[in-house]
């Protein structure tokens, strides 16, 4: 009888402690639905995700073991405008634009997730070490961060790709090498800040161990800025990767990558005198895909920042 | 103040040392044969590959290689650029003026427009103008620079039949500029046109500058605007704003005198990163518009595996970034009296 | 004592996500000339909102719904005072009133000062905003002196031009010609004289307020000053134009006791020197007893009692005031501290009728039906409680 009552009290207390969290969650959802831009961002990402998942259905590959190779309809140089056969037309060398942008969506997600995932992990690890232990470890890691951050992303990535060889895999590797510092610095900053807070001192005073403090107090408070940064970063990473492919340093010719497709269009900016916009589809369509993809992630990242940052929530 | 500058310069050397190690690490990813091929200017020299490897110590232990490399670096010998057909340092100064011209016209625009839009957006928070500028900013931030530039080219050069053309100068102006009558003081087209008092060349150069500058500005401006907006909103929420209003100051005075000065502080910090962002944008912009500047050269170098040129890019940008940060920190100390240079 | 300012039925609401916060629900208050009135209440009862409403400084999501704030202003000839309703006026007029007729000082002095401008800059700003004509007068006198000194020919021409400009400024401080002139780079330096004059005035003011070495302090930045000094600077900013009413919103709450005493002395001295009335907002009953003559007790957006400080402390009438005074620990007292049972109400859905009735030990049925009005029970004692309304009725019959 007594046990039953104490169990009841436990769940009762738990339920009561949940109530403010549920309220906050409801408020978060309210903010998301109230802000049209964040809904737009969410919608865009979902659409692109659908396209990427359904790529084999939407654009069946010619060769099943090489789906990223865009099929060619002949070898003529001049791009053809949209037609019944080719919904978005063809680009230089008769590569089908529609196929390229559909599978390019998959490429973009792959690059984005791989790079951001890896950089987050590396940054999390190194930043946590630097922030929590301080001292020499902190100094070394921060100098490393300074060195890497003193060179613009594109330039350093260019240099690394040149050294490793021109391929999409090397682009990913280069972007990982170039991209981890921002996460490390962010996590370190958060940990330094949280470390000084009164509630951490209070936890120590009550006898909390280091590990518990990190897990229970520090990490949950540091996660939100990381999420925000990651969603903004996916867009930036895809843009840089596209730029590298555009310059010819990334995906090989004929690979389904948005940047690569735009690099084709370089030679076909201006059409014949009577119809200067003849080849608009070669550049506009891959570009629009890029724009909306990055826009979706940026909107989402902004929405996260407005909604999750406790100081900005109630503005 | 002086001790602070000296300390920062020392720190600069530490970072540069670190950068040189990084660059050298990238360099050592190449095989000795690849590195030796850099010194070859003539096909006949291929026979002497092993000889070259020996003279340039390319097969020695790594720290000895580093020593010789740094020694050459400090002598000004960064190697030979195959894309530019001249020594790297010489090529650098050859391509520099075009890039300076582009940066000269873009950077002030980015800062001024970004600050202005951010300020307006914050003061009229949540009204139509705020939503409009924020939407434009986020679209601008999401634009792929190269695509935007190409689209502009397609419209203003293709559709409008050569209204705003690529490259730095029209053929006619180019011929004139290279002739004897035109004195090249700075090799920056617009400035030289002014100094030589040839207005038509000035106009021609400006016409060729419009699209690249717009391309560069739009993307960077978005960032500055966002930072300015958020820091302005923070400043407007502070106590001294209420005090200023309680003193009877007009709203315009409150915004301009009290809020803006405080809001500019974070923007100054971001300006340092802006320069870095500009370097990446310059590479793409110059490539698209065929302006033969540093960015154009580096892009070609990366494609054609011109190693010394690419490494020059890394080194130069690192130095630029560190120096810019020093300037930014000094500016910071000047604007914000709370900052003491330790 | 003639009434300086009268607040009638002031209502202010805040429109938030959770609902409409009814912060002020019909405030009635009045102050005489040269009086120090205390406005007492717990945190969140609406004292600061009242102060901001008087100056029309409430910004969205807040809004002043209705009411009147009648101020007796001295018109230009310094003679007859005619009343104006502050809530009815344009923003332009309010800007002339703020810092000039009515000034406000805040709790957090370090927040109230702009960190990037020097003390001189900020105190002078008050003079430059409202006392331009007087400054011009002093500047012109100096220019005349300089002209009389007989300098070089070029110098004389510049001086004569400066005189022209300042004469123009004295007539019409906001003329468009002057606006254009302040735009031009070299000509703009004419303002230097006025800024210098404002600086002299600031130093004079700070010396009068008892700030030591004002020439030094004036050159400093806010973060270089101690908390007490910062608050004194804030007070200087507020007093620059000799306002008739000073609203002090918890000015000493953040200071330690010794500095608190100094600031209170300073404020008390104002009444003698400048005849300033002070509306002293605080939650500290001790400070009220120290400096105020009358006190108004506020609870959840209502004024519940107004009385001279002596009688308020000796015989509090409203149950809330009684509860407040009982909860103050006294030396020699043993046993538990007595607190008022219950919690401060949520102002989004406040209790009907008298907002204190859920916590009141003397609650009656009437109390939840209609809000009791503030009635004058004895001479200059007002209570908003049916308990005492009944008594007056008894006295009447």
Q: How far apart are CA B143 and CA A262, in angstroms?
A: 14
C313 preceded by cis ω (within 30°)? no
Strand partners, C105: C248
Is the pTM above the cut of 0.90? no
**Tens-place pLDDT, residues C93-104:** 888 888 888 999
**Structure tokens, B290:** 């065929």
Judge whether residue A204 has pLDDT over 80: no
Q: Which of A22-31, B21-30, B206-215 is the most confident on average?
A: B206-215
Asked whether the beta carbons of residue A152 and residue B277 sit closer than 8 angstroms, the reply is: yes
Mean pLDDT, residues A21-44 taken together: 77
**A33, A254, A257, C160, C300 from C385: Cα distances, Å:** 46, 86, 78, 69, 14
Contact residues on chain B for A294, CB-CB shorter than 8 A: 142, 144
Instruction: Please report the residues numbered 154 through 183 in chain A whose beta carbons come closer than 8 angstroms to any beta carbon of chain B.
Output: 154-156, 158-164, 166
ipTM of the complex: 0.84
Share of residues in chain B with pLDDT > 70 (%) = 95
Q: Compute CA C263 distance to the chain's CA centroid, rounded to the nearest angstrom.
A: 15
pLDDT of residue A45: 92
Q: What is the CATH number of domain A43-313?
A: 1.10.3720.10
Share of residues in chain B with pLDDT > 90 (%) = 11
Residue of B nearest to C243 (CA): B247
Confidence band, pLDDT 50/70/90 cuts, at residue A315: very low
Asked whether the beta carbons of residue B337 and residue C221 sit closer than 8 angstroms, the reply is: yes
Mean pLDDT, residues B274-291 taken together: 86
Judge whether residue C392 has pLDDT over 60: no
CB-based contact C221:C115 (threshold 8 Å): yes
Q: How far apart are CA A121 and CA C170, in angstroms?
A: 68
Q: Which of C111, C129, C221 sits opposite B247 (nearest CB)?
A: C129
Mean pLDDT, residues C152-178 taken together: 77
Contact residues on chain B for A277, CB-CB shorter than 8 A: 154, 158-159
pLDDT of residue B109: 92
pLDDT of residue C76: 56
pLDDT of residue C157: 80
Q: Which of B147, B280, B322 sits opposite A155 (nearest CB)?
A: B280
Residue of B nearest to A241 (CA): B144
User: How near does any CA of chain C get to the CA of A194, in Å?
Assistant: 24
Where do the structural domains in chain A lie, given as residue ranges? 1-34, 43-313
**Structure tokens, B336:** 């914000």
pLDDT of residue A27: 73
B265-281 per-residue burial string, b: 16 or more CB within 10 A, e: under 16: bbbbbbbbbbbbbbbbb
Asked whether the beta carbons of residue C108 and residue B239 sit closer than 8 angstroms, the reply is: yes
The residues, ordered by sequence, that sit 6+ positions from C391 with a Cβ below 8 Å of its Cβ are C377
Question: What is the dihedral sign for C-alpha C299, C305, C307, C310?
Answer: negative
**Tens-place pLDDT, residues C184-205:** 766 667 778 888 888 998 998 8
Q: How far apart are CA C207 and CA B220, in angstroms?
A: 51
Mean pLDDT, residues B200-214 taken together: 87
CB-based contact C12:C287 (threshold 8 Å): no
Confidence band, pLDDT 50/70/90 cuts, at residue A111: very high
CB-based contact C162:C193 (threshold 8 Å): yes
Average pLDDT over all residues of chain A: 83
- Give strand ranges (E) for chain C: 3-16, 19-32, 36-40, 62-74, 81-85, 102-105, 245-249, 277-282, 294-299, 302-308, 375-378, 381-383
A30 reaches C (C-beta below 8 A) = yes
Average pLDDT over all residues of chain B: 83
**Tens-place pLDDT, residues A216-238:** 777 777 777 888 889 889 999 99
Q: Which of B186-190, C18-22, C123-127 is the most confident on average?
A: C123-127
pLDDT of residue C67: 87
**Tens-place pLDDT, residues A155-203:** 889 888 888 888 899 999 999 999 999 999 888 888 887 777 777 778 7
Judge whether residue B43 has pLDDT over 70: no
A314 reaches C (C-beta below 8 A) = yes
Q: How far apart are CA B246 and CA C102, in angstroms?
A: 9
Q: How far apart are CA B158 and CA A271, in angstroms?
A: 7
Judge whether residue C289 has pLDDT over 60: yes
A306 reaches B (C-beta below 8 A) = no
Contact residues on chain B for A240, CB-CB shorter than 8 A: 280
Share of residues in chain A with pLDDT > 70 (%) = 91
pLDDT of residue C2: 67
Of A207-211, B72-76, B315-319, C277-281, which gets the smallest average pLDDT?
Answer: A207-211
pLDDT of residue A214: 67
pLDDT of residue C393: 52
Residue of C nearest to A34 (CA): C17
């Amino acid at each position: 009888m007594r046990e039953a009552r104490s169990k009841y009290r436990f769940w009762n207390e738990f339920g009561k402690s949940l109530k403010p969290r549920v309220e906050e969650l409801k408020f978060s959802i309210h903010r998301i639905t109230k802000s049209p831009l964040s809904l737009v961002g969410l919608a865009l990402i979902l659409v692109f995700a659908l396209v990427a998942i359904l790529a084999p259905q939407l654009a069946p590959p010619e060769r099943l073991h090489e789906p990223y190779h865009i099929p060619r309809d002949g070898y003529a140089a001049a791009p053809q405008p949209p037609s019944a056969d080719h919904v978005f037309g063809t680009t230089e060398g008769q590569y089908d634009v529609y196929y390229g942008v559909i599978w390019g969506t998959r490429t973009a997600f792959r690059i984005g997730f791989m790079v951001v995932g890896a950089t987050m992990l590396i940054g999390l690890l190194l930043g946590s070490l630097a922030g929590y232990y301080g001292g020499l470890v902190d100094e070394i890691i921060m100098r490393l961060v300074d060195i890497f951050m003193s060179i613009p992303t594109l330039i350093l990535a260019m240099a690394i790709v040149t050294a490793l060889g021109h391929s999409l895999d090397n682009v990913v590797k280069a972007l990982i090498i170039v991209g981890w510092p921002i996460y490390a610095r962010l996590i370190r900053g958060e940990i330094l800040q949280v470390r000084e807070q009164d509630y951490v001192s209070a936890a120590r005073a009550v006898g909390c161990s280091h590990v518990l403090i990190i897990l229970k107090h520090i990490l949950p408070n540091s996660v939100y800025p990381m999420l925000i940064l990651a969603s903004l970063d996916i867009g930036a990473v895809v843009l840089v990767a596209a730029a590298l492919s555009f310059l010819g340093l990334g995906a090989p010719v004929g690979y389904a990558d948005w940047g690569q497709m735009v690099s084709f269009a370089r030679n076909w900016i201006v059409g014949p005198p009577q119809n200067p916009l003849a080849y608009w589809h070669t550049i506009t369509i891959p570009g629009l895909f890029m724009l909306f993809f990055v826009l979706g992630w940026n909107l989402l990242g902004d929405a996260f920042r407005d909604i999750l940052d406790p100081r900005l929530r109630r503005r | 103040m002086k001790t602070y500058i000296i300390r920062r310069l020392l720190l600069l050397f530490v970072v540069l040392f670190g950068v040189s190690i990084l660059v050298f690490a990238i360099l050592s990813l190449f095989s000795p044969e690849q590195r030796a091929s850099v010194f070859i200017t003539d096909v006949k020299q291929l026979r002497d590959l092993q000889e070259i490897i020996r003279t340039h110590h390319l097969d020695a232990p790594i720290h000895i290689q580093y020593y010789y490399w740094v020694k050459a670096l400090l002598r000004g010998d960064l190697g030979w650029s195959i894309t530019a057909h001249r020594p790297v340092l010489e090529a650098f100064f050859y391509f520099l003026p075009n890039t300076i011209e582009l940066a000269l016209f873009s950077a002030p625009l980015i800062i001024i427009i970004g600050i202005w839009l951010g300020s307006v957006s914050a003061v009229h928070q949540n009204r139509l103008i705020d939503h409009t500028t924020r939407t434009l900013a986020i679209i601008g931030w999401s634009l792929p620079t190269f695509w935007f530039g190409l689209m502009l080219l397609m419209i203003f050069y293709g559709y409008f039949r050569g209204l705003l053309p690529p490259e730095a100068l029209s053929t006619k102006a180019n011929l004139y500029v290279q002739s004897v009558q035109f004195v090249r003081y700075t090799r920056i087209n617009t400035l030289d046109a002014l100094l030589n008092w040839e207005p038509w060349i000035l106009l021609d150069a400006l016409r060729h500058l419009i699209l690249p500058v717009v391309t560069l500005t739009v993307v960077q401006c978005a960032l500055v605007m966002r930072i300015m907006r958020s820091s302005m909103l923070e400043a407007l929420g502070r106590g001294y704003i209420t005090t200023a209003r309680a003193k009877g100051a007009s709203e315009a005075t409150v915004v301009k005198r009290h809020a803006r000065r405080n809001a500019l502080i974070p923007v100054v910090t971001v300006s340092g990163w802006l320069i870095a962002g500009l370097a990446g944008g310059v590479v793409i912009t110059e490539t698209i518009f065929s302006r033969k500047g540093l960015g154009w050269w580096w892009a070609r170098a990366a494609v054609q595996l011109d190693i010394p040129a690419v490494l020059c890019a890394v080194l130069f940008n690192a130095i630029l970034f560190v120096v810019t940060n020093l300037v930014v920190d000094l500016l910071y100390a000047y604007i914000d009296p709370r900052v003491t240079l330790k | 004592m003639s009434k300086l300012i009268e607040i009638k039925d002031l209502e202010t609401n805040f429109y938030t996500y959770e609902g409409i916060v009814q912060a002020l629900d019909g405030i009635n208050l009045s102050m005489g000339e040269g009086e120090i009135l205390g406005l007492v209440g717990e945190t969140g009862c609406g004292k600061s909102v009242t102060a901001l409403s008087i100056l029309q400084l409430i910004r969205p999501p807040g809004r002043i719904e209705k009411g009147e704030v009648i101020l007796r202003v001295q018109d230009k000839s310094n003679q007859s005072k005619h009343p104006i309703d502050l809530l009815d006026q344009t923003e332009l007029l309010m800007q002339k009133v703020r810092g000039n007729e009515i000034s406000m000082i805040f709790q957090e002095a370090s927040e109230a000062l702009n960190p990037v401008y020097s003390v001189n800059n900020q105190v002078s700003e008050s003079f430059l905003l409202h006392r331009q004509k007087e400054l011009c007068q002093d500047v012109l006198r100096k220019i005349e002196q300089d002209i009389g000194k007989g300098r070089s020919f070029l110098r004389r021409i510049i001086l004569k031009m400066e005189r022209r400009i300042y004469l123009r400024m004295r007539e019409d401080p906001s003329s468009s010609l002057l606006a254009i002139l302040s735009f031009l780079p070299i000509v703009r330096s004419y303002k230097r004289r006025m800024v210098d004059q404002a600086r002299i005035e600031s130093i004079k003011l700070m010396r009068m307020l008892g700030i030591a070495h004002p020439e030094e302090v004036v050159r400093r930045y806010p973060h270089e000053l101690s908390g007490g000094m910062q608050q004194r600077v804030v007070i200087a900013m507020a007093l620059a134009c000799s306002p008739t009413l000073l609203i002090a919103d918890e000015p000493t709450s953040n200071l330690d006791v010794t500095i608190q005493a100094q600031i209170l002395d300073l404020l008390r001295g104002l009444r003698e020197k400048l005849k300033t009335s002070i509306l002293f907002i605080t939650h500290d009953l001790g400070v009220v007893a120290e400096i105020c003559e009358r006190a108004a007790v506020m609870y959840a957006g209502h004024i519940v009692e107004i009385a001279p400080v002596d009688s308020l402390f000796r015989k509090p009438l409203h149950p809330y005031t009684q509860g407040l005074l009982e909860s103050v620990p006294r030396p020699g007292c043993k046993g538990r501290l007595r607190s008022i049972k219950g919690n401060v109400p949520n102002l989004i859905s406040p209790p009907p009728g008298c907002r204190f009735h859920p916590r009141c030990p003397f609650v009656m049925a009437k109390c939840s039906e209609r809000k009791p009005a503030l009635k004058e029970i004895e001479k200059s004692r007002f209570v908003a409680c049916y308990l005492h309304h009944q008594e007056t009725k008894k006295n009447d019959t």
